[in-house]
Amino acid sequence: MKHRHALLAAGAAGVLVLGGMATATLPASAAASGCSVTYTVQSQWPSGFSANVALTNLGSPVTSWTLTFAFPNASQKVTQGWSATWTQSGAQVSAASMGWNGSLGTGASTSIGFVGAWTGANPAPASFALNGTTCTGSVTSPTANPTSAPPSSPPVTTPPPSGPAPKLKVSGNKIVTTDGRAYRLLGVSRSSGEFACVQGKGLWDSGPVDQASVDAMKTWNIHTVRIP
């Protein structure tokens, strides 16, 4: 059986637009600094999940970095990570670069990830910091006020808390809105008909699919739901 991937549109049974994104910047020093951070829950199951964190350096080159953030839910824990040295104390999480991915030139990217545990709710972290500097989503110069990201990195568009899903399209290797602004997806996978139908159980045999379940997912600060 082939798996089909789909995004839920706004409606009684599903929602595309649910939340926002997170960005981070490097600390201001003798050079311009800035970066973007995209946190994505790749898969989720009862009591566990896997997440990917994509980092892009927008400022001057760095030779090492440490990413920090706090889990909103006290039950969220990093149980196993990769591509960084992961540590956690209470809700505070730290991911330090490895020898092979510590150097990031201007515009360079790297991805790290982890497997985690949760109970009750699994919301995305509200903010990130890189090398001790809280996220701003812009490039900062030590001799000037913060400026917008370079033209090659259009500002991220996030939807309002409620209302219809935005109209999106593919432009090159990016997802953009109808006015051409980059749009980053942040969401979860929702188990559905990828297993139940072949077992003779019918579709959607993995939990409720009513409006209450959609409202619960909206509290996770996501705006995209993937349906296998």
Burial of 70 (0-12, 13-18, 19+ CB in 10 A): middle
- Domain topology for 22-153: Immunoglobulin-like (2.60.40)
Name, of 12-26, 51-65, 107-121, 200-214, the range with top average pLDDT.
Answer: 107-121
pLDDT band at 97 (very low <50, low <70, confident <90, very high): very high
Segments making up each domain of the chain, as ranges: 1-21+156-228, 22-153
Supply the pTM of this predicted model: 0.49
Instruction: Convert the pLDDT of each residue in 138-175 to its tens digit.
Output: 666 665 444 455 555 555 555 445 667 778 888 888 88
Number of neighbours of residue 71 by Cβ within 10 angstroms:
21
Q: Is 214 helix (H, G, I), strand (E, B) or coil?
A: helix
User: Which of 192, 223, 186 is CA-nearest to residue 207?
Assistant: 192
Question: Nearest 5°: phi and psi at 15?
Answer: -140, 135
Dmax (CA) of the chain: 66
The answer to whether the beta carbons of residues 186 and 124 sit under 8 Å apart is yes
**CA-to-CA distance for 14 and 108, rounded, in angstroms?**
36
pLDDT band at 219 (very low <50, low <70, confident <90, very high): confident
Residue 140 confidence (pLDDT): 67
Q: Given a cut of 70, is residue 187 above it in pLDDT?
A: yes
Q: Calculate what percentage of the chain has a pLDDT beyond 70.
A: 64
